[in-house]
Structure 1
Amino acid sequence: MIGAVLVVYKPDLALTERLLTRLYGQTKEVVIVDNSPTPHDFTKVIKHYHYIHLADNSGIAHAHNVGLLYLLKAGCEYAILLDQDSLIPSDMVFNLSSLLKASNKIKQNVVAIGPRIRCSFSDKKVNSKIQKEVFEYDDLVGVTQIIASGMMIDLSALDQIGLKDESLFIDGVDHEWCWRARSMGFDIAKAKNVEMVHRLGDSRSKFIGVTYKVGAPIRLYYQFRNILLLSRRPYVPTYWKVRCLFFMPIRLFLNSVMQKNRLKRLGFMLQGIVDGVLGRKGPYKSHWK
């Protein structure tokens, strides 16, 4: 049995309802975990779902874990994680689950599989220039990590790998889980011929011809802090550590000089660096007022 965990936060209702319309009927169970301050009702587009309201917003990792634990208790074998910024094809769950099951026949110990991502801003496929493919077999490509939205997980592996790292709160949560799984001998894969539209970041900006993602100022705190936290962990890929640490000064410049709310953004980045150096984890509000 397959279940879905949809995490929302102050959702764009039109986008979320469009996603739920596509999801309806693809899984036996649907859990909507809402991190928004006020609750939402989605019964006009989906009749049968389990709703969990976490008004204090304890992070996406905690939201994922709450949803995954619910699906485990409901007897699900597989879970697909989704967020409000994604649009899935009507056969995505079937295709991903088929590939996940087939991976066992080719002796690939795949515990999570995701689709190819098409960015909604550029309408182009997202291809990593640094991440190398680990293996390739028919419609499967082994990779080092995939994003959380669209990720289908074999729930039986959670006993060994563990749940998502709630201390990270948001940024890097999906990649950290994949790297941890790979360090334990499991494989992570993408489906060659399954594609999902997803919005990465809130907007885009350009500097000397290079396009970069722009997100909410608070996200900069978690991005900078979690780079420093994850860079200490031995199972995190060296290429990721080098790339992220190298680009930190450039991102500091772009977000403090080239964007609106410069001082606010600079403050969040500096606070993230301080907490990353000191090894502080958890939500921002635990350390700063």
Structure 2
Amino acid sequence: MIGAAIILYQPDSDITYRLIESVLQQVDVLCVIDNSPMPTSLKIATKKLHYHHFPTNVGIAKAQNVGLKELQVLGCEYALLLDQDSQIDPDFVFRLSSLLVASKINEQPIIAIGPRVICSFSEKAVKPRVQREILVYEDIVCVTQIISSGMMIDLSKLDLVGFKDETLFIDGVDHEWCWRARTHDYMVAIADKIEMVHRLGDARSKFAGVTYKVGSPIRLYYQFRNILLLARRGYVPSYWKTRNILVLPIRFFANALLQTQKRKRFRYMLCGLWDGLTNKRGSFSDNWKDNNK
């Protein structure tokens, strides 16, 4: 059996409906985990769909874990994770699962496979500047990390690696899990010939000739904090630590001076830096109750 879990947060109803309809035609069971304040009206009558609503927003890590655990209980062998703003082809699940099954038959140590991501803003394939290819098995390329949307996981190997780190809440969750899998001698891979259109960030901006992702102010809290939290962990790649810590001042300047909602962004970044230095985890609302009113 193949299952899927789609994570929602105040989604565009038309885009979400199309994605869910497409996924339902390709999997045996679908878990929809909704972190929106109000429940999303899906209007889809099928026993294949299991809906979970968390109005307080439990974070993407816990939402994914809810889906993964339920798919395990239901007897699924493989689980596909998707964000609400991804677009997949009608044969996406079949092609991705075929590669994962083949890797298992060939005794390749692969725990998860994802597609080549096409950025919906640039309509171009996303190519990491620093990440290097580790190993190539015909149509799959082993890398250090992949994003969670489009990631298909071999559930038989999940218990050893563990579930997603809920203390991170959102940013860095997918990469941390991939790096942790490496400590158990598992690898993650990209399907070289399978593509998926995905929205990365809310918008794009340019500073000093460099185009960068622009997200909501609250995301800056998790981005800044989680960089400092993950930098403490030995299994996190040195190149990732170095690159992200070095660009922190530039990101701080760009968000504090060049973007809208400057004061709000400034406050969230300061809170994130403080909590990162003091090793605080979980949600912003738990750590800064008075400031979240």
TM class by shorter chain equals: over 0.9
- Structure 2 CA distance for aligned equivalents of residues 167 and 186 of structure 1: 23
Aligned length: 289
Q: Deviations over 1:5-59 (max 9, x none)?
A: 0000011111111211221211000000000111122134867400001111110
Deviation, structure 1 residue 209: 2.2
Cα 1:241/1:10, change in 2 over 3 Å: same
Whether the aligned pair in 2 keeps the contact of 1:36 and 1:55 (CA below 8 Å) is yes
Q: Deviations over 1:193-248 (max 9, x none)?
A: 00000000000011232211000000000000000000000000000000000000
RMSD over equivalenced CA pairs, Å: 1.1
SS of the equivalent of 2:121 reads: coil
Whether the aligned pair in 2 keeps the contact of 1:7 and 1:60 (CA below 8 Å) is yes
Percent identical pairs in the alignment equals 56
- Structure 2 CA distance for aligned equivalents of residues 50 and 22 of structure 1: 16
Q: Which residue of 2 aligns with 1:193?
A: 193
- Structure 2 CA distance for aligned equivalents of residues 107 and 79 of structure 1: 19
Task: Give the TM-score normalised by the residue count of structure 2.
Answer: 0.96
1:24-63 paired onto structure 2 within 5 Å: 24-44=24-44, 48-63=48-63
Deviation, structure 1 residue 103: 1.0
SS of the equivalent of 1:104 reads: helix
Whether the aligned pair in 2 keeps the contact of 1:220 and 1:269 (CA below 8 Å) is yes
* Alignment-mate amino acid for residue 278 of structure 2: L
Q: Which residue of 2 aligns with 1:243?
A: 243
- Structure 1 CA distance for aligned equivalents of residues 137 and 44 of structure 2: 41
- Structure 1 CA distance for aligned equivalents of residues 19 and 58 of structure 2: 23
Task: Give the TM-score normalised by the residue count of structure 1.
Answer: 0.98
Q: Deviations over 1:38-96 (max 9, x none)?
A: 11221348674000011111100000001111111101010000011100111111111
Whether the aligned pair in 2 keeps the contact of 1:113 and 1:151 (CA below 8 Å) is yes
Deviation, structure 1 residue 125: 0.4
Q: Structure 1: 5+ residue runs without aligned partners?
A: none
* Alignment-mate amino acid for residue 140 of structure 1: I
Whether the aligned pair in 2 keeps the contact of 1:20 and 1:46 (CA below 8 Å) is no
- Structure 2 CA distance for aligned equivalents of residues 201 and 47 of structure 1: 33
SS of the equivalent of 1:191 reads: strand
1:130-279 paired onto structure 2 within 5 Å: 130-279=130-279
Q: Structure 2: 5+ residue runs without aligned partners?
A: none
